[in-house]
Amino acid sequence: MIFPRCSGILLHVTSLPGGHGIGDFGESAYEFIEFLAGSGQKIWQVLPLNPTGYGDSPYQCFSAFAGNPLFIDLGALRGEGLLSAADVASAPNFPDDHVAYDRVIAFKQDLLRKAARAFFADQAGADRRAFDTFCQKGREWLEDYALFMACKKAYNDTAWVHWDAGIRQRDPSVLKKWQNELSAELEYHRFVQFQFFRQWEKVRDRCRRHGISLMGDIPIYVAHDSADVWTHPELFRLDERGQPTAIAGVPPDYFSATGQLWGNPLYRWDVSAFSGHRWWIDRCRASLGMFDLVRLDHFRGFEAYWEVPATASTAAEGKWVKGPGAEFFRVLQAELKELPFVAENLGVITPGVEALRNGFGFPGMSLLQFAFGKDPQGPTFRPHNYSRELVAYTGGHDNDTTPGWWTSSGVGESTRTEHDIREEHELTRAYLGFQNEEVNWIFIRTVLASVANTAIVPLQDLLGLGSEARMNLPGTVSGNWRWRYKADSLTKEIRENLLALTLLYDR
């Protein structure tokens, strides 16, 4: 698929400002859309919007289909009469520069439960028909997700592999018993999903009216403790108790000398193929129903993936195993027709990976921060080697911010040495021809000026923020996904500077 020449901003919903401790689908989302439109941007890229579990990571979620309840705007619930003004104003004094997840979860869950009680108490409410329609349309994933979350609560949030055998193994009679006993909790989770998707559709409608496309993200793997694995254990490499026998990761790389051990269960691609990849088709259809285009996370895993024994202590003990390849995408294409995918082709990329990507016309990705180091693929990230069918970034959600990358030592956060970093800086200055200018604007100008059809800038780079605004440090399990920008950050000067460059380079 050929994308028109344009540019956009990468910003996860959690990072929006607001008084309820975390970004949501409320006024700050609409103000950001106005900023995008005013600065000439055509894409808003977000990370996965699913309900987060372990480590608050959007890449370790309780469901690949459900939405994150924390994104629901409480003000909108007040507008529907489900919460009072006092409820909405009762937020604790949350920090405005990061998400305090434990406190936010407790606060918002209490009010969401109160709103649900009000909703179901009004049996003749005007929205009941819309709610019933939503539940019927999403029944295939919604019922399993609602029961999964209800059971987790009943088991004090323990992982499903530690539940009693009957419910763990989804015995039909036990499922029915739990559905009856937890009916009120199931209704709560249906209500939350109804509100999430209704509010998201309003955000999407505002984007459409401003000519802005939304780019989503499909993680290649799902969390072991998820409704997906509990509901479809046959699709994953599990033992008789549901524990993974092989897990996902990547070999030693830029971020870690021992590789990254993600821990997600690997797929049984033969079983998936036998079913016509039905779960994947449903997953992609759901994502394309929410977004205009989608980033396929860890694309190289579809060609070959890094398989690590579940007992391994590091990812270095893994091996490459062939993935589902072109057959998988042919099935998706036959079912879904257009595949507006962006392939995240970073890491150890082989000719086979690129042949698969090019065979289906998926634009790849290039990060300018990777262009000047000792990685053998570095030259491919330099703009004189760009192709037009490319999405060019200054950096990504796993990288430090560009000012942080430039000014920090980098030692301990990657496999680079001090000598490597000095050489990297020298080449960066020589290639980009700058001395003391703000490095973030040099990088922004470079990707916007490039021939790549699409250029994306993380908002942290646009704001010129340092390492304190980093979104994620791969290989660490805490302190990530927390950064938020402050409400007064999107100044007129920044908007006008970005608009000028966007117009100058025909974006």
Active-site residue numbers? 297, 344, 398
Confidence class of residue 504 from pLDDT cuts 50, 70 and 90? very high
Whole-angstrom distance, CA of residue 455 vs CA of residue 391? 6
For position 3, what pLDDT does the model report?
85
Beta bridge partners of 217: 295
435 pLDDT tier (thresholds 50, 70, 90): confident
Q: Of all residues in the chain, what percent carry a pLDDT higher than 90?
A: 89
Please compute the mean of the pLDDT values over residues 208-231 and round it to a whole number.
Answer: 98
233: pLDDT strictly greater than 80: yes
Per-chain mean pLDDT for the chain: 95
Segment 154-177 mean pLDDT: 97
pLDDT digits (tens, 9 = 90+) for 11-63: 999 999 999 999 999 999 999 999 999 999 999 999 999 999 989 999 999 99
279-305 pLDDT per residue, tens: 999 999 999 999 999 999 999 999 999
pLDDT at 419: 85
- Residue 173 tokens, joined: 């009679």
User: Are residues 334 and 325 in contact, defined by beta-carbon separation less than 8 angstroms?
Assistant: no
pLDDT, residue 412, reads: 56
Q: Kindly state the percentage of the chain with pLDDT values over 70.
A: 98
Mean pLDDT of all residues in 138-167? 97
Q: Name the strands in the sheet holding 390-393, side by side, starting at the edge strand that comes first in the sequence.
A: 341-343, 293-296, 213-218, 43-45, 6-10, 454-458, 390-393, 364-367
CA separation for the pair 87, 75 (Å, rounded): 10
pLDDT score for 18? 95
Residues 6+ apart with CB under 8 A from 172: none
pLDDT at position 212:
98
pLDDT at 374: 83
pLDDT band at 156 (very low <50, low <70, confident <90, very high): very high
pLDDT tens for 117-141 read 999 998 777 789 999 999 999 999 9
pLDDT over threshold 80, residue 409: no
In the predicted model, what is the mean pLDDT of residues 228-234? 98
Please, which contacts does 376-382 make with residues 24 or more away whose CB atoms are closer than 8 Å? Answer: 377/349, 382/431
Q: Residue 78 and residue 145: Cα distance in Å, rounded?
A: 26
- Give 445-460 pLDDT, tens digit per residue: 999 999 999 999 999 9
Pairwise CA distance, residues 495 & 192, whole Å: 35
This model's pTM is above 0.85? yes
Q: CA–CA distance from 222 to each of 51, 148, 246, 287 (Å)?
A: 12, 15, 14, 14
pLDDT above 70 (res 478): yes
| Position with higher pLDDT, 2 vs 81 | 81
Q: What is the pLDDT of residue 259?
A: 86
> Residue 252's pLDDT is what?
82
Whether the per-residue pLDDT at 415 is higher than 70: the answer is no
With cut-offs at 50, 70 and 90, classify the pLDDT of residue 1.
Answer: confident
The residues, ordered by sequence, that sit 6+ positions from 405 with a Cβ below 8 Å of its Cβ are 369, 395, 399
Mean pLDDT across 474-488: 91
Per-residue model confidence (pLDDT) at position 274: 97
What's the DSSP call for residue 258? Answer: T
pLDDT average, residue stretch 174-181: 97
